Amino acid sequence: MPELPEVETVRRGLSPVMEGQVIARADVNRPDLRWPFPPGMAERLTGCQVARLRRRSKYILADLSSGETLLIHLGMSGRMLVSGDPLGVFVHDHPAPQKHDHVVLHMRNGARITFNDPRRFGAMDLMETARADDHKLLRVLGPEPLGNDFHEDHLIGAFQGKMTPVKSALLDQRIVAGLGNIYVCEALFRACISPRRKAGHISKPRIAALVPVIRQVLADAIEAGGSSLRDFRQADGELGYFQHSFDVYGREGAPCRTPGCGGTVRRIVQSGRSSFFCAQCQR
DNA sequence: ATGGGGGCCTGCCGGC
DNA sequence: TGCCGGCAGGCCCCCA
């Protein structure tokens, strides 16, 4: 499911039922996802109040009253489902347990948060809140694309001398953190840049123009509640709808949406992943 | 140091 | 109906 807009959507859905609330019990139904869970994870979560839910790139971070922070990554297929009716908002009651329900957080307010992840590329870990930035998975991340540290000079510097295609460069979380396959394709389309162009061979003005485009694509997607592919749902069960706004992603063979272009969206494979683009208007 | 590819998993879909 | 290949929103790790 999850690139930055989907993770942000999940965070916003979880916030009202988790922040300020206490984890009464944690069911941990297997020893690992992508990596082993930290020792005693269930016990370390039990009785903790969730002070704040944050997001860094595609990670959700729950700061706990114990001084620890729970890190959650959704991988490719992870979902966080909220059930129960703690706020009088969620009409559905607790559903029957599903296959791949790996971790269930029972909140004292009656809400239940279920982490379901068929492919198990997701992850959970616990760390000291004070050292969260030093976590192995977080310390390597580049700037947040919606934050102040992501700007023209940064991207120009990061692309300098890079012989890798711009598609790969933008997927590199060390350069900018939170983009994935969909939003890189969409941003490159909006910026009229071919995914095959070598990052280091793009002119400075065109790199600079990419910055606001990336911000806007992400903002548009967050506004729409993310993209719902393969039945991804927000935490409250609603579907995001940004997938209806895709210009190129998943549109192989369809006409380019640039007015007057007349081109056709193509699919190519770059470092093992599909890139969708219009060779007519993306140069 | 950099870039490319393999691998981790399950599920779904289309073709034969 | 069943089997098989291909594909999927991520990312670590190893190799040249």
Enumerate the domain spans of chain A. Answer: 4-134, 152-278
CATH superfamily of A4-134: MutM-like, N-terminal (3.20.190.10)
CA of residue A246 to C1' of nucleotide C5, angstroms: 27
Q: In what order do the strands lie in the sheet with A23-28?
A: A23-28, A101-107, A112-116, A79-83
Model confidence pLDDT, tens digit, residues A119-175: 999 999 999 999 999 999 999 999 999 999 999 999 999 999 999 999 999 999 999
Q: A55, A58, A79, A266: which is the annotated catalytic residue?
A: A58
Model confidence pLDDT, tens digit, residues A226-251: 998 755 555 555 678 999 999 999 99
The model carries a pTM of: 0.95
Q: Which positions of strand C lie within 7 Å of protein CB atoms?
A: 7-12
Q: Which residues touch strand C (CB under 7 A)?
A: A 1-3, 6, 34, 57-58, 73, 75-76, 119, 121, 137, 140, 173, 180-182, 226-232, 240, 272-274
Sign of CA dihedral A266, A269, A270, A272: positive
CA distance A283 to A280: 7
Q: How many residues does chain A have?
A: 283
Nucleotide nearest to A7 (CA to C1'): C9
CA of residue A88 to C1' of nucleotide B8, angstroms: 40
DSSP secondary structure code for residue A255 in this structure: B
CATH architecture of A152-278: Orthogonal Bundle (1.10)
A3 belongs to the catalytic site: yes
Q: Which tokens hold the place of A57?
A: 């790139």
